[in-house]
Amino acid sequence: MTATSPKRVTISDVARRAGVSPSAVSHAFNGRPNVSETTAARIRAAADELNWRPNYASRKVSGQGGRSLGLVIARSRDTFGRDPFFMRLLAGLTEPLADLGWSLSLTLVQADEEEQVYRQWWGEQRVDAFLLVDVRHDDPRLPLVEQLGAPAVLLGAPVDDAVPAVTVADESAFATVLEHLGGLGHRRVARVTDAPGLAHTRARDQRFSHAGAQQGIATSFAAWDPTADDPVAELLARLGGVTAIVVDSESIAAQIVAHAPEVGVQVPAQLSVVAWEDSWVSSLVRPRLTALDAPVEESARTAVALLERLVRGEAAESQTVSGRRLVVRDSTAPAPRSPSQHHRDPDRDSEEAP
Amino acid sequence: MTATSPKRVTISDVARRAGVSPSAVSHAFNGRPNVSETTAARIRAAADELNWRPNYASRKVSGQGGRSLGLVIARSRDTFGRDPFFMRLLAGLTEPLADLGWSLSLTLVQADEEEQVYRQWWGEQRVDAFLLVDVRHDDPRLPLVEQLGAPAVLLGAPVDDAVPAVTVADESAFATVLEHLGGLGHRRVARVTDAPGLAHTRARDQRFSHAGAQQGIATSFAAWDPTADDPVAELLARLGGVTAIVVDSESIAAQIVAHAPEVGVQVPAQLSVVAWEDSWVSSLVRPRLTALDAPVEESARTAVALLERLVRGEAAESQTVSGRRLVVRDSTAPAPRSPSQHHRDPDRDSEEAP
DNA sequence: TTGTAGGCGTTATCAC
DNA sequence: GTGATAACGCCTACAA
């Protein structure tokens, strides 16, 4: 019944109730050794009774900053919404942040407003650090956060020494995939990508080619074209003699296995499909997707730890988390005997490896 | 190269650069009529050059609060992650919030920490309002936000006069669904629910029964048991002579249509399935789900508008948004001739009614 | 161990 | 139309 509506309770109220000075309360709540345990207990009791907690804004004003992480996602509602990775990321960030007493400020922006939002949030001191996702080649956000002096960590391959990265160890991922596919008799495998601008794309392309070369598997590339009338049909038509694909996005892989039979391609009988990234969606579609699971939650936890260090002014080095693993389900099977493709003539739209 | 690192630029710096007093800058930035247009322009220019924006924490301290919405979701990572509704909600909140200059503070908590987080965020004045989702029967958060004096809006059916609700108009939803199913010859329909504690469950149950009674369709209820070895098989076995189900969760509906054939039930030939809520997932699974799309983005926008009013101290009334509509896809089809459940004649392609 | 004074960056008040 | 001055709530010296 303590009506808190008229006036919010402040540190002085707590001090008065505990019979001490405001600074004593501050000391007690900041773990300073300047206050006896007995008075500290009395102070905590008073604060509890009054339901008081140090005002977040006030402590920031007085220099005790650093409790809010900004996550700015430059995606359309649609491409955000259909990427289960983000759900895992958000859920994964939340726990380590809570452990630190941080909160997460989230927003979606259009690409052309992106820098503006970083500037604004940092300028307003609304956030104390940024987590960068979907890092593109020559991403303007890297020089930007440096210029602003904002602590930042990126998810993905390291790009710039000034911005530490949390990377999922991928060196052997393609080797594992191609080993799996090779063992099933596949000799021509394509990598399907959708977002060519992303910074990690090139590195992955190279690793893919490299792993193929090592295992005697011919590798090629195909771009997903979301603007096509029927992107799946369009993609499949371009595949040439390829008998297996590794798709850089789980939701695209899911669309492919769901729709392929309807355009005359049986998965996995005629075409094997592997998804890069895993989530509940992979076990939802039929055939269930063979997928490369990534330790998203651990990446999130690592990123938060790095960020926290940066905010405290310590140096932070890029980190690698391992744990990517191939989850074999039903979308991969032995290669078809005849390498002839699916009711379509050879196409040379798919380029060879660099 | 303007090294902002050593000292952050303040309103005084801007004032000095523009040759005015700090208060003039404040006035200019808060749209007060106390400053001439020419000086205002000069001030804005100076602020831009210095890349300055009013410090969020400072303005809160000086009473200009109200720019952060708290969203506390009491779900496990898993049940959060596999509910596409949340992606739509987050994406939908983001835009109207940005228009207002608000940000969104998001966290996931375990049920037993829930109230604690509300207390903490409000006590710290980290957020200025709450959006309540997954409102349960006798939800402790309602008295809590009232006691705290925190502005709050809930998504779902109105529960308490003190907390305005944004409700999706559902009166005719079941009528529409049952009309569709009735037109296909279904005479026994069950409603499948998973979270019995949610506040809207009971109201929906009643509407479902009512709509069934009006249309001469026998209605029943079945609970989804996620702890079963095979929840889908277990559910289907319990269905009796039912030929169609309306599932209260899209992801469960998706699981059902994906898995049913594997336990001997053909969808839609033997069983029609309608999902309550719609997203990209509904068109991903095969057969594609017939679903009741809800105007999530509009709900989000409405909730934000209500919240903004509450924070300004104005009264806000519960609002209803309409636009729930039946999207007929492939998971509903004519009822099987014999009401005996599983095992009947070949498929018939989907058709729709209204 | 405790209290006092000053400052953080902004806004509101009220003279000028 | 403009500019001092006093809050706002907290934290950090420093003094008692």
* B contacts of A118 (beta carbons < 8 Å): none
Alpha-carbon gap: B177 to the closest alpha carbon of chain A (Å)? 25
Going A40 to A42 to A43 to A48, the CA torsion angle's sign is positive
Quick one: A142 and A80 in the same domain? Answer: yes
- The CA distance from A245 to B222, in Å, is 41
Which nucleotide is closest, CA of B21 to its C1'?
D3
Q: How far is the CA of A24 from the C1' of D15 (A)?
A: 15
Taking only the tens place, the pLDDT of each residue in B264-280 is: 999 999 999 999 999 99
Is residue B262 in a domain? yes
Q: How confident is the model at residue A145 (pLDDT cuts 50, 70, 90)?
A: very high
Give the pLDDT confidence score for residue B7 in this predicted structure: 64
Among A10-14, A329-333, A345-349, the range with the most confident prediction by mean pLDDT is A329-333
Give the tokens for residue B135.
């409102």
Instruction: List residues with CB under 7 Å of strand C.
Output: A 19-24, 27, 33-36, 39, 58, 61-63; B 7-8, 10-12, 22-23, 25-26, 29-30, 32, 34, 52-55, 58-59, 61-64
Give the pLDDT confidence score for residue A238 in this predicted structure: 95
Give the pLDDT confidence score for residue A7 in this predicted structure: 64
Quick one: A229 and A165 in the same domain? Answer: no
Q: Are A344 and A248 in contact (CB under 8 A)?
A: no
Q: What is the CATH number of the domain that holds A73?
A: 3.40.50.2300
Give the pLDDT confidence score for residue B338 in this predicted structure: 64
Taking only the tens place, the pLDDT of each residue in B31-43 is: 877 788 888 889 9
Interface of A with B in 146-185 (CB under 8 A): 147-149
- The CA distance from A89 to A301, in Å, is 10
Residue of B162, B167, B279, B44 whose CA lies nearest to A78: B279
Q: Do B108 and A119 touch (CB under 8 A)?
A: no
Quick one: A267 and A303 in the same domain? Answer: no
Question: Is B2 a residue whose pLDDT tops 80?
Answer: no
When the pLDDT of each residue in chain A is averaged and rounded to a whole number, the result is 90
Give the pLDDT confidence score for residue A312 in this predicted structure: 87
Give the pLDDT confidence score for residue A32 in this predicted structure: 79
Share of chain A above pLDDT 90, in %: 75
Is residue A44 in a domain? no
Is residue A60 in a domain? no
Alpha-carbon gap: B319 to the closest alpha carbon of chain A (Å)? 24
Quick one: B331 and B231 in the same domain? Answer: yes
Taking only the tens place, the pLDDT of each residue in A288-306 is: 999 999 999 999 999 999 9
When scoring B7, B61, B67, B255 by the number of chain A Cβ atoms within 10 A, the one with the most, hence best to mutate, is B61
Quick one: A289 and A211 in the same domain? Answer: yes
- The CA distance from B310 to B301, in Å, is 14
Is residue A308 in a domain? yes
Which nucleotide is closest, CA of B23 to its C1'?
D3
Question: Is A96 a residue whose pLDDT tops 90?
Answer: yes
Specify which residue's alpha carbon is closest to the C1' of nucleotide D6. B62
- Chain B contact for A107, CB < 8 A? yes
Per the structure, the complete domain to which residue A156 belongs is given by 68-169+296-323
Question: Is A284 a residue whose pLDDT tops 90?
Answer: yes
A51 CB less than 7 Å from any atom of strand D: no
Q: How confident is the model at residue B237 (pLDDT cuts 50, 70, 90)?
A: very high
Structural domains of chain B, count: 2
Quick one: B161 and B307 in the same domain? Answer: yes
Share of chain B above pLDDT 70, in %: 93
Taking only the tens place, the pLDDT of each residue in B127-160 is: 999 999 999 989 999 999 999 999 999 999 999 8
- The CA distance from A61 to B11, in Å, is 14
Q: Are A229 and A291 in contact (CB under 8 A)?
A: no
Alpha-carbon gap: B218 to the closest alpha carbon of chain A (Å)? 31
Quick one: A251 and A138 in the same domain? Answer: no
Taking only the tens place, the pLDDT of each residue in B64-100 is: 777 899 999 999 999 999 999 999 999 999 999 999 9
Region A189-204 average pLDDT: 91
Query: Considering the entire predicted model, what is its pTM?
Result: 0.92
Alpha-carbon gap: A339 to the closest alpha carbon of chain B (Å)? 28
Interface of A with B in 250-269 (CB under 8 A): 251, 254-255, 258
Quick one: B164 and B304 in the same domain? Answer: yes
Subset of residues 18-37 in chain A with CB less than 7 angstroms from any atom in strand D = 22-23, 25-27, 29-30, 32, 34
Quick one: B156 and B251 in the same domain? Answer: no
Measured to protein CB atoms, the chain D nucleotides within 7 Å are: 1-5, 7-14
SS3 content of chain A, % helix, strand, coil (to 5): 40, 15, 40
Give the pLDDT confidence score for residue A338 in this predicted structure: 64
Q: Do B98 and A80 touch (CB under 8 A)?
A: no
Quick one: B135 and B74 in the same domain? Answer: yes
Q: How far is the CA of A124 from the C1' of C5 (A)?
A: 28
Name A55's Cβ contacts closer than 8 Å, sequence gap at least 6: A10, A11, B61, B124, B125
Region A120-128 average pLDDT: 93
* B contacts of A54 (beta carbons < 8 Å): 124
Taking only the tens place, the pLDDT of each residue in B329-352 is: 999 999 998 644 444 333 333 333
Q: How confident is the model at residue B313 (pLDDT cuts 50, 70, 90)?
A: confident
Is residue A117 in a domain? yes
Question: Is A2 a residue whose pLDDT tops 60?
Answer: no
Give the pLDDT confidence score for residue B354 in this predicted structure: 35
Give the pLDDT confidence score for residue B340 in this predicted structure: 47
Give the pLDDT confidence score for residue B9 in this predicted structure: 86
Region A173-190 average pLDDT: 97
HSE-CB at A334 with a 13 A cutoff on CA atoms is: 3
Quick one: B261 and B307 in the same domain? Answer: no
Residue of B228, B229, B226, B239 whose CA lies nearest to B191: B239
When scoring A58, A108, A255, A259 by the number of chain B Cβ atoms within 10 A, the one with the most, hence best to mutate, is A108
Quick one: B160 and B88 in the same domain? Answer: yes
Give the pLDDT confidence score for residue A164 in this predicted structure: 97
Give the pLDDT confidence score for residue A64 in this predicted structure: 79
What would the 3-class secondary structure string for chain B be?
A: CCCCCCCCCCHHHHHHHHCCCHHHHHHHHCCCCCCCHHHHHHHHHHHHHHCCCCCHHHHHHCCCCCCEEEEEECCCHHHHHCCHHHHHHHHHHHHHHHHHCCEEEEEECCHHHHHHHHHHHHHCCCCCEEEECCCECCCCHHHHHHHHCCCEEEECCCCECCECEEEECCCCHHHHHHHHHHHCCCCEEEEEECCCCEHHHHHHHHHHHHHHHHHCCEEEEEECCCCCCCHHHHHHHCCCCCCEEEECCHHHHHHHHHHHHHHCCCCCCCCEEEEECCCHHHHHCCCCCEEEECCHHHHHHHHHHHHHHHHCCCCCCCEEECCCEEECCCCCCCCCCCCCCCCCCCCCCCCCCC
Question: Is A208 a residue whose pLDDT tops 90?
Answer: yes
- The CA distance from A255 to B301, in Å, is 30
When the pLDDT of each residue in chain B is averaged and rounded to a whole number, the result is 90
